Amino acid sequence: MNQKRNKKQVLSLLWRRVRTCLALAVSTFLLTRLASAFPNATEQFYARGLYPVIASVLSWISQWVPFSLDDLLYVLLIVVGLVSLMGMLFRRVKWYSVVALWVNTLAAMYMLFYWLWGFNYFRPEMNERLQVQESVPDRTAFLKVMDQLVEGTNSSHIAFNTLSVQQVDSLVESSYALLSPLLRLNYPAGVRAPKPITFSHFFAQATISGYYGPFFSEVHLNDYLLPVEYPMVLAHEKAHQLGITSEAEANFYAWMVCAQSGDRYLQYSANLYVLRYFVYEGYQLEGADTILKRINPEVRADFKRIREHWLGLRDEKIDHYALKVNDAYLKTNQVEKGIEDYTGVVKLVMDFSMDEEANKRLENLLTN
């Protein structure tokens, strides 16, 4: 009799906790719909109001720990999952306790993701935020911008024989600070000291060069990054920490920050990265071959080196499933193009390059 009463009490307590967590998760989901319907309000109250405070607090805490707290969180979740599953299989833990544990955990992770960073997905798009006019697709204009990018990549070429991570980090931060008015950023919004990905080799097999950890506001870079890639990838992940969720926009912010830096390492890293997307998008256009022939041999050699480096690390199956997961994740958060969003940087570079007013604002910012 007592056992039945105790079981009823336990079930009642578990159900109350599950019900509370589910109610909070559903409330968060409804708020995401509201945020999506009113992006300007999301920009004002969350992206430029609440989020910079959250990022500042979390990044201040995480900076004192030399390893990734986000990675530790994911490992703990896996361990708890395996332990609870084994406990249930060996009848050490009741099945309803395991179900309640995981419903509560998943609901909590869902809520934390959006409140700590994810609501940034529902901001207005970059063109609206930065007041950059969308350009009309035009072959001549595209080839002109690609030609400028080839010239800029050639002229900024520099051999990455030595690379000071601390110096690059400082230069990227300085450029973000300078361009923050143009890029509509609440700078500094925390600290962004990069941390290595704990399982860098596994991520390298999935050709993932870096990622942003939203739960502790951490910037992660893969240990297998080549020096020539480092500045651009660092700036990309810092853009995420500053509230930029779109991969295309993060690429654009990183390109702008590095290309407009006075440092050639940053300039070349950014131009090389973005030129790759322009080549992919435009190599079949009439007249493109003439422009592409002007790419310096040294630049071509770097393209080849980067490609061979990541192909040598890549595991086809891991990469395939990682792309599927990332694609589903992006589409769930209203990034319609999914994994193809990365290539959207071409459009954003085109839009900015063709907008005379936007370029005047940049020139005024750099000269004043």
Q: How confident is the model at residue 89 (pLDDT cuts 50, 70, 90)?
A: confident
Q: How confident is the model at residue 340 (pLDDT cuts 50, 70, 90)?
A: low
In whole angstroms, give the CA distance from residue 142 to residue 134.
13
Indicate whether 296 and 195 sit together in one domain. Answer: yes
Q: 57-66, 89-98, 201-210, 250-259: lowest mean pLDDT where?
A: 89-98
Residue-level pLDDT at 4: 57
Check whether 192 has a pLDDT greater than 80.
Answer: yes
Region at 334 (left for phi over 0; alpha for psi -120 to 50; beta for the rest): left
Residue-level pLDDT at 6: 62
Compute the average pLDDT of residues 298-306. 97
Indicate whether 246 and 325 sit together in one domain. Answer: yes
In whole angstroms, give the CA distance from residue 178 to residue 200.
32
Indicate whether 175 and 192 sit together in one domain. Answer: yes
Residue-level pLDDT at 324: 80
Indicate whether 142 and 110 sit together in one domain. Answer: no
Chosen domain end from 122, 145, 166: 122
Indicate whether 138 and 272 sit together in one domain. Answer: yes
Residue-level pLDDT at 328: 75
Residue-level pLDDT at 7: 61
Q: Select the more confidently predicted residue: 124 or 91.
A: 124
pLDDT tens for 235-253 read: 999 999 999 999 999 999 9
Compute the average pLDDT of residues 223-240. 97
Indicate whether 87 and 195 sit together in one domain. Answer: no
Indicate whether 161 and 179 sit together in one domain. Answer: yes
Residue-level pLDDT at 8: 65
Domain count, the chain: 2
Compute the average pLDDT of residues 92-111. 90
Domain of residue 190, residue span: 126-367
Indicate whether 155 and 85 sit together in one domain. Answer: no
Counts for the chain of helices (H) and strands (E), in that order: 17, 3
The amino acid at 268: Y
Residue-level pLDDT at 310: 97
| pLDDT above 90 as % of the chain | 80
| DSSP helix/strand/coil, 225 | coil
Q: What's the pTM?
A: 0.93
Indicate whether 159 and 61 sit together in one domain. Answer: no
Compute the average pLDDT of residues 177-195. 95
Indicate whether 26 and 79 sit together in one domain. Answer: yes
For residue 219, the cross-strand partners are: 212
